[in-house]
Amino acid sequence: MPKAPPAPLIILAILAVIIGIEAVLQAADQGWIGTRRWRSLAYQFGAFWPGLLDTWEPNYIGQPAAMFVTYAFLHGGLEHLLGNAVTLWSLGRIVVARTGQRGFLAVFALTSLGGALCFAALSPGTTPMVGASGALFGLAGIWVGWQWQDRAPGIGPMLRVSGIVALLIALNVALFWWYGGSLAWQTHLGGFGAGLGMAGWLGRVSLDRGHLS
């Protein structure tokens, strides 16, 4: 029996960071360590705050830029974390197999950026945003783009790819209802769009370690 391919280290590293942060915050929420204020402080310093792109005073120098990265490593609780961790593991291995680990890191960063930019442009208020779902919908966008590029001729494969997009839209509607309207659909849209836009380029250019070392 052939051996299963090793788990991509870059995915394990990202999972270790996001799970580790949430584990610490959960422990603080329960009063086991630190203080119950740790979660609110983590959001104050690491969440994506649209107001910081306007007239708000940052908590530290560079926060308006740093939050485009840090928001993706914070989550709103165990349920939020679990859904994102499973999706990262599932879609991430598909993408990293084609881009390599350094390429995947670039994809994760750029789709997170795309999600944050879209949230900043379309969010009507000043509510903060956390979670890796911008990057995860970016991975979905790349995968859908590859499915479209690699499809066989005919209407059937075209309809199957269109069905995947329809399923993703339905998923967002369901999550928006489940979370009582607090879903950052703008981040999902921006991440997906960034990933879909990158799919064509990633399909033509190798980003494996040999090309980037």
What does the longest C-alpha to C-alpha distance in the chain come to? 61
- Which pLDDT does position 199 carry in this prediction? 87
- Which pLDDT does position 181 carry in this prediction? 65
Determine the angle formed by the axes of helices 78-122 and 185-204, rounding to 10 degrees.
Answer: 90
| Residue 60, both tokens | 């530290």
What does the alpha-carbon distance between residue 47 and residue 7 come to, in Å, rounded to a whole number?
A: 29
pTM confidence score: 0.84
| Residue 41, both tokens | 């402080």
Three-state DSSP at 58 gives coil
- Which pLDDT does position 125 carry in this prediction? 79
> pLDDT per position in the chain (213 positions), as tens?
344 455 689 999 999 999 999 999 999 999 999 999 999 999 999 999 999 998 899 999 999 999 999 999 999 999 999 999 999 999 999 999 888 899 999 999 999 999 999 999 998 778 899 999 999 999 999 998 888 777 667 776 666 766 777 777 787 677 767 667 677 889 999 999 999 998 877 765 444 433 221
Distances (CA, A) of 7 to 44, 56, 96, 103: 33, 42, 10, 16
Handedness of CA 13, 14, 17, 18 (dihedral sign): negative
Q: Residues, the chain, total? A: 213
Neighbours of 128 (CB within 10 A): 19
Three-state DSSP at 120 gives helix
Three-state DSSP at 47 gives coil
- Which pLDDT does position 60 carry in this prediction? 95
**Domains of the chain, earliest start first:** 9-212 (1.20.1540.10)
Segment holding 68, helix H or strand E: helix 63-70
- Which pLDDT does position 167 carry in this prediction? 76
Q: Around 112, how many Cα atoms within 13 Å sit in the side-chain half-sphere?
A: 24
